[in-house]
Amino acid sequence: MGRIWLSILTAFAVSYVIRVLPLTLIRKPIKNRFLRSFLYYVPYVTLAVMTFPAIVEATELPAAGTAALVVGIVVAWRGGSLIQVAAACCAVVLLLEAIL
Amino acid sequence: MNSNSKSTPYREGLRDGVPIGLGYFAVAFSLGIAARGAGLSALQGFIASTLCIASAGEYALFSLIGAGATLLEIALVTLITNARYLLMSAALSQRIRPEMPNVHRFLFGAAITDELFGINIARPGYLDPVYYYGAITTSVPLWAVGTALGIMMGNLLPGRIVSALSVALYGMFLAIFVPAAKGDRVVAACVVLSFGLSWLFRTLPALAVISEGNRTILLTVAISVLAALLFPAREMEADNG
């Protein structure tokens, strides 16, 4: 088998173990208050860390990415669905990059 | 044809997977361009994306393949870039209905990604594997196809379109954590702190040497530990109901 295929399989094996191990090993509700709180915060913090400043750097013009961030926050704050928020962000970038 | 508006968990998953899939497609397309540079065929890119389903992890994988890295190096870097899935998997384990058949853990577990994790954790109560499978159906194939098309077609899409599509992913992230921040001041403070520190780590030359994957892990653990120590009362929704 080629080196590329072996590399892909290696990455898959490691990713799969990382993803499935906690799910299969942790069978009971975690009682520890600190751990429970920690796991409650993790998803929001991870997503926030990955969103900024990455969204500003994802577009051709940083101003468009910044505008997408602001508009996205406003739409999400007002209760916009997943699709609505994502579409609003895309539309702002399309519009701004066409104008600027 | 009459469209039936009856909402089942599978259909809801299909629906919520669509914006994720569109975002995936755009990101995977640019990922495919990187994979092409590393010498992957469209089939190899398709399989790699179907199996690994990870943007940062796959980007690292393709760079390493291009650099002629050893399998051990690939395993280590994959472990680091994907370590956050370990935390997400642990978080999901707390939302599983006790009587759920075990096989589900091995199936949807393979598709723990930032976005699929996000929309599943955002639903109240126990995790519904059927909803998860619905979301996988409309998102993961677009990730794999996007990678293959990126390898085959390179730079055919105008930059402006790629630019607009690439913020779809972040829009989805916002749709998940902004409502949570609105309802919980501690989460709001965490978000502000995350933005600030993430920007600082990206900008300060001494800290910018830390890779994107490591930065995500480091900041996630540090900020979540801090929040859990200072405000330990928060609990996961499934336990309240």
Domain map of chain A by residue range?
3-99
Instruction: Rank B21-25, B45-49, B217-221 by mean pLDDT and report only the highest.
Output: B45-49
Inter-chain residue contact A86 with B114, CB threshold 8 Å: no
A23-64 pLDDT, tens digit each: 999 888 788 889 888 888 887 898 899 899 989 988 889 999
More confident of the two residues B81 and B28: B28
More confident of the two residues B117 and A29: B117
Q: With bands split at pLDDT 50, 70 and 90, how would you rate the model's confidence at B241?
A: very low
Inter-chain residue contact A58 with B166, CB threshold 8 Å: yes
Shortest CA distance to B119 belongs to which of B169, B168, B172?
A: B172
Kindly list the domain boundaries of chain B, sorted by start residue: 9-168, 184-241
What per-residue confidence (pLDDT) applies to B109? 96
Cα–Cα distance, B112 to B133 (Å, whole number): 11
- Is residue B56 within 8 Å of residue B175, measured between CB atoms? no
CA A45 to each of CA A65, B137, B208: distance values in angstroms, whole numbers, following the listed order: 20, 27, 19
**pLDDT, average across residues B17-31:** 85
Token representation of residue B22 = 């569109």
What letters, b where the CB count within 10 A reaches 16 and e where it falls short, cover B91-124?
Answer: bbbbbbeeeeeeebbeebbbbbbbbbbbbbbbbe
How far B196 CA sits from the closest chain A CA (Å)?
A: 8
Residues of chain B numbered 82-111 and touching chain A (CB < 8 Å): 82-94, 96, 102, 105-106, 109-110
Chain A touched by B33 (CB under 8 Å): no
pTM of the complete model: 0.74
How far is C-alpha B183 from the chain's CA centre?
23
Predicted confidence (pLDDT) at residue B2 exceeds the cutoff of 70 = no
How far A46 CA sits from the closest chain B CA (Å)?
A: 5
Chain A touched by B6 (CB under 8 Å): no
B159 exposed, middle or buried (CB, 10 Å; 0-12, 13-18, 19+)? Answer: exposed
Q: Which residue of A has its CA nearest to B61?
A: A11
Predicted confidence (pLDDT) at residue B237 exceeds the cutoff of 60 = no
Chain A touched by B35 (CB under 8 Å): no
CA B193 to each of CA B115, B210, B233: distance values in angstroms, whole numbers, following the listed order: 21, 18, 19
Q: Is the ipTM of this complex over 0.90?
A: no
B102 phi, psi to nearest 5 deg: -60, -30
B59-115 pLDDT, tens digit each: 889 988 988 888 998 998 888 778 788 888 998 999 999 999 999 999 999 999 988
